Copies of this chain bind each other. A is one copy, B any other.
Amino acid sequence: MHLTLAAAEALVFEVLTRNRVSEANARSVARALVAAEAAGQGGHGLRRVEAYSSQARAGKVDGFATPSLLRPFPAVVQIDANHGYAYPAIDLALSVVPDIAREQGIAAAAFRRSHHAGVLALTVERFAEMGLVALMVANAPASMAAWGGRKPVFGTNPIAFAAPVPDADPVVIDMALSRVARGKIMAARQKGVPIPDSWAFDRNGQPTTDAVEALAGTMIPSGEAKGAALAMMVEIMAGALTGANFSFEASSLFDDQGAAPALGHMLVVINPDAAGGAVAAARMGRLAEEITSDPDARLPGRRGQNARRMAIENGIEVEDELVSLIRAL
């Protein structure tokens, strides 16, 4: 089915408000899920509406929560999502952190008691569109082990980064730290097909081609030991420093059972003028030019930005079944 972005947002808004979510929160969530869909990130898009709704009904996420903000130090804010969705908390950061970063040179926002952070690329990009450089990390329910280990301790713990480029879209980087998304293994299990042995370890820490064994084991980090170390860095920033749950303490984002996930995110925003003087913008242009002068090299973020432009113009295609499922909610 073909939907304009406005129609898709209206659909999500309506479903959420009928499932114990406030209008303000439903608007924020609808915008974020549809933006993910428009950027080609369906895994963080409309497919999430079902779990988001059932969690609100069950009280696993508080659809009426309002995020609160403290500024205990001049350059740091603590944002408590109060067991609500992440997006209203992220919107609050977007309204407060840019001025602090401009004034202090660098600023951090530490999020706690939060939920699925969605497509981090879309958040950091919004800071870059304001002329700022942003780094964001988030933890997520555990699916990766520490290097050499067997127990899931870390989530796929994404890292995202964006920086403005003069007269061009920002550079936007966003990566989960597992080699592949867990959804790919879930899809293989559903189809009953084997997976490459580079995707996951079984319960004994051995590479496996069996999707069932893989889901009972742990995801292989991108770059092996290095990816596992980065996942630990993210866990410390998003979990230990924020007062959020660790990945291994968080409940699932896909069902309505158990306590709130209470996940954490950390956002660091830099005023590019602070670090290198007014030349930073010109230097970003120079770097982008050097990279794109290599015919086959890619600037990160372009695919999502182009997908979004197409979606704004032409709307998005959503599977009929998914639209029916959402409408039934």
Chain B positions within 8 Å of A107 at CB level:
75, 106
Q: A206-228: contact bitstring with B at CB < 8 Å (1 yes, 0 no)?
A: 00000000000000001110110
- Report A198 CB to chain B, min CB distance, Å: 11
Q: Which of A166-200 contact B (CB under 8 A)?
A: 171, 173, 175, 177, 179
Q: Which of A219-273 contact B (CB under 8 A)?
A: 222-224, 226-227, 229-230, 232-233, 235-237, 239-244, 246, 248, 266, 268, 270-272
Chain B positions within 8 Å of A241 at CB level:
133, 270, 272, 275-276, 280
A298 to B237, CA, bound (A): 19
* Stretch from A12-20, A146-154, A317-325 that touches the partner: A146-154
The answer to whether A106 touches B236, judged by C-beta atoms less than 8 angstroms apart, is no
* Stretch from A26-34, A36-44, A88-96, A289-297 that touches the partner: A289-297
Q: A94-108: contact bitstring with B at CB < 8 Å (1 yes, 0 no)?
A: 000000000111111
- Report A54 CB to chain B, min CB distance, Å: 29
A146 to B286, CA, bound (A): 14
Out of B74, B223, B266, B279, name the residue touching A223 (CB < 8 Å): B223
A145 close to B (CB within 8 Å): yes
The answer to whether A226 and B223 touch (CB under 8 A), given A73-B271, A147-B297, is yes
A291 to B149, CA, bound (A): 8
The answer to whether A108 touches B163, judged by C-beta atoms less than 8 angstroms apart, is no
The answer to whether A235 and B287 touch (CB under 8 A), given A105-B72, A133-B241, is yes
The answer to whether B270 touches A108, judged by C-beta atoms less than 8 angstroms apart, is yes
The answer to whether B233 touches A223, judged by C-beta atoms less than 8 angstroms apart, is no
A interface majority secondary structure: mixed
Task: Give the one of A106, A173, A243 with max B CB within 10 A.
Answer: A106
The answer to whether A230 and B173 touch (CB under 8 A), given A150-B294, A246-B287, A297-B147, is yes
A78 close to B (CB within 8 Å): yes
Chain A positions within 8 Å of B, measured between CB atoms, are: 72-76, 78, 103-108, 110, 112, 133, 135, 145-151, 153, 159, 161, 163, 171, 173, 175, 177, 179, 205, 222-224, 226-227, 229-230, 232-233, 235-237, 239-244, 246, 248, 266, 268, 270-272, 274-277, 279-280, 283-284, 286-287, 290-291, 293-300
Known: A75-B75, A76-B106, A240-B276. 6 other contacts (CB 8 A): A73-B105, A74-B104, A104-B104, A110-B274, A133-B237, A151-B297
Some 12 contacts from A to B, beta carbons below 8 A apart, are: A74-B105, A110-B274, A147-B300, A149-B294, A149-B296, A163-B236, A163-B240, A173-B232, A236-B287, A241-B272, A241-B276, A243-B283
